[in-house]
Structure 1
Amino acid sequence: MLKVDFFGQQDQAQQKTRWLILYFIIALFVIIGFINLTFFLVGKFISLHHYQLSQWLQSPASHWVIGITLMVILGGTIRRLYQLREGGEALAIMIGATPIEPDTYREEERRLMNVVEEMAIAAGIPVPALYVLQMEHGINSFVAGYHASDVTLVVTRGALEQLDRRELQGVIGHEFSHILQGDMRLNLHLIGILAGILAIGQMGFYLLTGGTYQYEDRLNRNLRDLNIFPFALPFSILLISLGYIGLFCGRVIKSAISRQREFLADAAAVQYTRDPACLVGALLKIKGHRIGSKLYNYRAEEVSHLCFGSAFNLSRLLATHPTLDERITRIDRAYPYRLKYGKLGEQTASQQTAPLSEEYLSFQSTPTVRPPTTKTTVVASIGNPTPEHLAYATKIYQQIPKNILTLVHQQTGAKIITYALLFQGKVADKQAREIVLNTAESTEITQQVIALRQQLDTLGNQVRVPLLDLALPALKKLPYVERTTYLTIINDLIKADGKVSLFEYVLETILRHHLDTHTMRTSTVSYKNLAEALPDISLILSLLAHVGSGQSAYTIALKTLTTQPLPFASIVACKPEKLNGAINRLKYLTPQLKKSVIDACVTCVLADKQVETAELEVLRAVVESLDCPMPPLIG
């Protein structure tokens, strides 16, 4: 069975970022060298100078060419990275995608929402923001973002209309694997670097038209309508021609970075859904589609390495993706036979049951026996959701009543649901909370919260965290001032009875992690090793031990990290502000050190071989705050 080490993948992604910087530096030397040589030859040809090449390289003119080229490339990179500072949603808006409204009436968009929400619950991450490229009729999609907790998923109109639910699930499973393997941050950085490399050619178009041409207009305007400036023609054509050197370098870098990742993402998608036919079906539809996966968007070049399928046709050397035949064959080894003998429509055993390549899963027709819940299986599940997790998430999702699903997709409704979660089980303190809520919100909202609380009581505790995951996309869309006010109300509701319950701490921790970017994304401490972080880890283990089986669990968990004795903190010392500060600092540990911390936390929870809902919720809040996606523990 294919097992992807989430923490190892995060390390690899950081290493690939270093390689990306090296590739960028090499591309800089190549582009500067070609431009410098071109200006030398042109100047020689029209008798602007009489330097030899060695003299030219030491001349002020050559230094000016190098300096200006560096300024253009670095300026283009910095500008694009600044534009993408908000992550995936900034990219979606930049390429002209439109958000899917929660109350959309389109059946295909609602189908996408259902598939994505089920998969998000199974993977243990908040539901991604959903966008559609309305004018793109090819079958394609991509995900973008800097963190697994803040993702944007973009699909084309063609993918929504051409794929059925199973095939769509295969494509979304592929995209979720990119989220869980740490590819997204690298891909956004790659867009910034490519923007700088492509800037030379874009500047040529700008000079050619005296500033009247915008790069975004190249497919939206008739070039005959542009104002061409004849005096700038020779120089601008030269820059446009040199821009193709940058285009070539950019495509080589993309091919080197992203090509092999597609095979791994396909494998993870098959493992996730345990249905090879769904991904094969999507790839076959791309192969048989009139447009395929081609994008006509003016930024197709910049985002091509993010996409599920190839955004345009390139030679194998420069392709960002393996060929469709290669990808299908890796999943279904019988595919070449059926392709050769014209039997693509037949459903073979391999398409139904197993991809036969060794790096893929080996599926059985009999149900898989779920392994026991142990420290090893829990830690291994991080970033590795299984079909059992997906089935569990689907079951939970189907238990949620339609009126709650409607509310959770609306900004006001999402707030009402989180308020109602805080009202659960607090009959004695109901009056104090009503006073707080009536002061901050309308009486009508308070009445809705009370009515909803009674409905949530009948659903049970297992839906509480999934409801938070479903509510986060709508809450993230709140304006900054309204979001700040909302978090203040949450804090006031928690303090209304003068004490903080475990679930109240969990709820506020998750909400602040995703909504309060100022307090949860900054830290004055960055630990270099685990020894420096032990006091903070000790505090978190103390809380988990108090929730679970006591000090003995704390002692067992601490031994997995160090032989150094650390005091067991009392429950009074485990104050929310101290815990939040500890988690905020631990967030900046390296991936492998985070793994050690989570390993100790799971050891503490499982010390008595029993797991309560409260323990799971606190563990989930800690792990999620460390930017690690943790699927639900089944059973």
Structure 2
Amino acid sequence: MNFFERQARARRTSTRLVVLFALAVLGIVVAVDLVVLVMIGPQPGPLVAATLGTIAVIGLGSLFRIASLGGGGDKVAQQLGGVPVPEDTTDPNLRRLRNVVEEMAIASGVPVPRIYVLEHENAINAFAAGYSPSDAVVAVTRGTLDRLNRDELQGVVAHEFSHILNGDMRLNIRLVGVLFGILMIGIIGRKILWYGRGTRSSGALAVFGLALVAIVVGSLGVFFGRMIKAGVSRSREVLADASAVQFTRQTQGIAGALKKIGGLESGSRFAQREDAEEVAHMLFGDGIGLSGLFATHPPLLQRIQALEPGFRPEQLTQLQARWLATPPDGLQEDVALGLVPPGELPQAGSALSVTPPMVAAQVARPHDDDYARAHTLVVSVDDALRAVATHRDAVMPLVLALLFDADEAVRAKQRTEIVGRLGTAIATEADHLHRTHLLTLHPMLRLPLASMAFPGLRRRARAEIGAFLDTVHAMVHADDHVSLFEYCLGRLLEVQLREALDPARHARFGRRKPGNVKQEFATLLSVVAWAGNPGDRAAAQRAYLAGMQRVLPRDHVPYAPPARGVLALDDVWEPLDALDPLAKQVLVEAITAAISHDGQVSVAESELLRTLCGVLHCPLPPTLEQLPRH
């Protein structure tokens, strides 16, 4: 099952969630009506009032909770007591965590998420939350940092990245909001009992009686909520374990983390169980100790044996005895592992051999070679430049410098746009970075740098981000000579930052079909073909037709060089991004076919392909020149 099929399945699961929620509401309404019947008798007025009141309480509760989570993953992490990990941290444990997350993000083709640590939780656990990769956060407990070695930490983080890439986060965060509503009646009952304790009047006793009834009826909400979470979560956790193994290409990491959960007294259960209840379906391990029908995760031993079939229960008992005497220390274990030697980047002028189906199969499906390439990319970035990418006050000039055009006249216009919106100091620093670091930068390092700078950009004030985005827009529209890559990089930054500013608004699954966006297909492919074959109309037409044959084989839309150049793409992004997931797969194949029509793809073209796919929310890993994946 590839990314596009998983997206289609996630959309169907969202529909199933709505149905299950409706059935849960119906069950609670019936229970309330039965109580009214017993207490008052079959009187239509009170029954209707009870029904409408119950629906109103549940609906308003859900809407309130959904609105409170509108800020995305940050809200979830903060409500659980998460502390952000600074981009420039020097703490060894936090630096190791940040390195792992950065490399995973680069390997996955998504922005580096915000990172949080739940300092008050000694259990081994983690979660990813957000509406999209642009507002995602990855949070781990202090126990995860202290007890896991780097391989095990990689396994846990890879598990969470599978949730980011598969669309699970969006469903999970909506599940929190929706299920809060069906718990509202019980919550109201408990609050009445709590605030009314000590009161002895006759009227108060009647209110307490109603509160007890609300708690009993509310227990139905707890029952339905746990059943829904278990039904949605369990199968996805199994898939996430498998994806983590596929990503890191070794089972020892995630299996080792699961063994430590089973072997240590703290396990994976949160100290603050009430807080963990709401997000139990998001967690890497069981956070509250539910089992049977209510279990949000498969049994721990079953998860370990799925990774290591020969593992026996008595081995877990032996680990428990050993770690009871000497608890594991992750950093000390790292000493014995050594470092993964970085590989080499392909030559900037080299050609890669890819096919459209191969590229489509890699979307949001990173493998071990992608992680190795991401490690190579990160260590290939000059230390001084990496320091700039992780410094809050330096990220704006750096990202703007990435957008500078090769033509000096265009660059002068772009610098003027920066001065007019952000000031001379930022323009001067961007120009300095461009001349000293970016002129000779390997083309494969531009997107990783932008990804590493993304958390710093997200931390700026909303007004500053708005001015920055206006500047990005002005730079890529400086004149018609802006390159396609610079235009698409600017567009990608706009998309990701706007989603991070208002994540709930941008969370959606597309439904459009290819036949409804024929002209948009033609415009995108004509721009790609024209940009890849400047001055050679015949070659550009062949590239265009190769792409159109993939996406609209029965339609004849003649090739026409784009009169506005790359600016013609301004009108195509929204309708193309709204395509049905399976239609997007065809679009990715069409773009690849147009770029690779001559049988090979340059490194620069591969980065353009990754940027185009990023704008369309189809993240590509950094390694395209590999065997097809199964």
Residue by residue over 1:188-211, the C-alpha shift from the partner in whole angstroms, topping out at 9 and shown as x without a partner, is 121112101111111112222448
> What is the deviation of 1:568?
1.5
> What is the deviation of 1:528?
3.8
> Aligned residue for 2:355?
374
Instruction: Using the TM superposition, name which of 304-313 and 293-302 deviates more.
Output: 293-302
> Aligned residue for 2:280?
304
Equivalent in 169, 174, 180 of residue 195 of structure 1: 180
Distance 1:514 1:181 in 2: 17
> What is the deviation of 1:74?
1.1
| 1:386 maps to 2:367 | yes
- State the AA in 1 paired with 2:515: A
SS in 2 for 1:131: strand
> What is the deviation of 1:73?
1.0
> Aligned residue for 1:491?
473
Cα gap change, 1:553/1:428 in structure 2, threshold over 3 Å: closer, same or farther? same
SS in 2 for 1:132: strand
> What is the deviation of 1:497?
6.4
Q: CA RMSD in A?
A: 2.9
Equivalent in 569, 574, 591 of residue 579 of structure 1: 569
| 1:406 maps to 2:356 | no
- State the AA in 2 paired with 1:124: G
Cα gap change, 1:433/1:189 in structure 2, threshold over 3 Å: closer, same or farther? closer
> Aligned residue for 2:237?
262
> What is the deviation of 1:598?
1.2
Residue by residue over 1:258-317, the C-alpha shift from the partner in whole angstroms, topping out at 9 and shown as x without a partner, is 111111110110110011001111001111122211123342111000000001112222
> What is the deviation of 1:68?
1.3
| 1:565 maps to 2:556 | yes
Cα gap change, 1:530/1:431 in structure 2, threshold over 3 Å: closer, same or farther? closer
| 1:28 maps to 2:9 | no
Equivalent in 496, 518, 522 of residue 534 of structure 1: 518
Cα gap change, 1:595/1:344 in structure 2, threshold over 3 Å: closer, same or farther? same
Distance 2:459 2:604 in 1: 29
> Aligned residue for 2:306?
330
How high is the TM-score relative to the length of structure 2? 0.86
> What is the deviation of 1:237?
2.0
- Are the aligned partners of 2:389 and 2:453 in contact in 1 as well (CA < 8 Å)? yes
| 1:11 maps to 2:8 | yes
SS in 2 for 1:416: helix
Equivalent in 101, 113, 132 of residue 98 of structure 2: 113
Distance 1:400 1:464 in 2: 10
Distance 1:462 1:267 in 2: 29
1:347-496 correspondence runs (5 A): 373-423=354-404, 425-427=406-408, 431-453=412-434, 454-495=436-477
How high is the TM-score relative to the length of structure 1? 0.86
- State the AA in 1 paired with 2:286: S
Q: Which has the higher contact order (CA 8 A, sep 6+)?
A: 2
Cα gap change, 1:406/1:609 in structure 2, threshold over 3 Å: closer, same or farther? same
> What is the deviation of 1:483?
1.2
- Are the aligned partners of 2:251 and 2:307 in contact in 1 as well (CA < 8 Å)? yes
Residue by residue over 1:311-353, the C-alpha shift from the partner in whole angstroms, topping out at 9 and shown as x without a partner, is 111222210001110000000011027638958999xxxxxxx
1:55-454 correspondence runs (5 A): 56=42, 59-210=44-195, 232-297=207-272, 298-336=274-312, 339=315, 342=318, 373-423=354-404, 425-427=406-408, 431-453=412-434, 454=436
Cα gap change, 1:333/1:394 in structure 2, threshold over 3 Å: closer, same or farther? same
- State the AA in 2 paired with 1:186: L
Cα gap change, 1:433/1:182 in structure 2, threshold over 3 Å: closer, same or farther? closer
> What is the deviation of 1:386?
1.0
SS in 2 for 1:299: helix
SS in 1 for 2:130: strand
Residue by residue over 1:571-627, the C-alpha shift from the partner in whole angstroms, topping out at 9 and shown as x without a partner, is 433342x31320111111110111111111111111111212443333223211221
Aligned residues: 583
Give percent identity, aligned residues only: 34
- State the AA in 2 paired with 1:481: A
- State the AA in 2 paired with 1:89: D
| 1:553 maps to 2:543 | yes
Instruction: Using the TM superposition, name which of 10-19 and 104-113 deviates more.
Output: 104-113
Instruction: Using the TM superposition, name which of 412-421 and 589-598 deviates more.
Output: 412-421
- Are the aligned partners of 2:613 and 2:620 in contact in 1 as well (CA < 8 Å)? yes
SS in 1 for 2:598: coil
Distance 2:230 2:316 in 1: 29
- State the AA in 2 paired with 1:84: L
